[in-house]
Amino acid sequence: MEALRTSCSELRDRALVEFLYSTGVRVSELVSLNVGDIEMGKQELIVYGKGSKERKTYLTDGAKFYLRRYLRTRCENEGITMQELQRRPLFATLDRPHGRLTVAGVQYMLRQLGKRAGVEGVHPHRFRRTIATDLLSRGMPIEQVKEFLGHEKLDTTMIYCTVKTESVQASHRKYA
């Protein structure tokens, strides 16, 4: 994550990386969001996942910080107010007329970012897996991670999560 963060040359890209990691959203959910879908004060948003299921997800302080900076810059660049920006796509292309970023556009941007950072296999879904693994390793119950990701079955969440050997060893010492 640190290599990707430091390799972001555009504010939009840093905001997008922080947003993907913070929220764990699918790329299809990401590209359908508008600015007005985010409740900055509460640092939360509702996304519509597979099967049009609705779930709440959250912004970290870092994601909120970079997202606000990115949105303020967009207002300046596009010559519009924050109120007008509310109805526009959350993440837009860098070139005029600043259209909605597509799934392919996000995938391409992340691949390029990965190359610059020297990180292999950078794709949107990797952020989803990473946040799931990090939440579990920090002690969040797997049932809550399941809800956070919007999974129907716990088995699906288990597939996402990589258990670190050190964690297993530490838990064994604690519980055995």
Residues annotated catalytic, as ranges: 26, 50, 125, 128, 151, 160
Q: DSSP strand E in 27-92: where?
A: 38-39, 44-48, 54-58
129 in Cβ contact with 141 (< 8 Å): no
Taking CA 137 as the corner, what is the angle to CA 135 and CA 138, rounded to the nearest 5 degrees? 65
Residue 100 structure tokens = 């909605």
User: Which amino acid is it at 84?
Assistant: E
What sign for the dihedral angle of Cα 27, 33, 35, 41?
Answer: negative
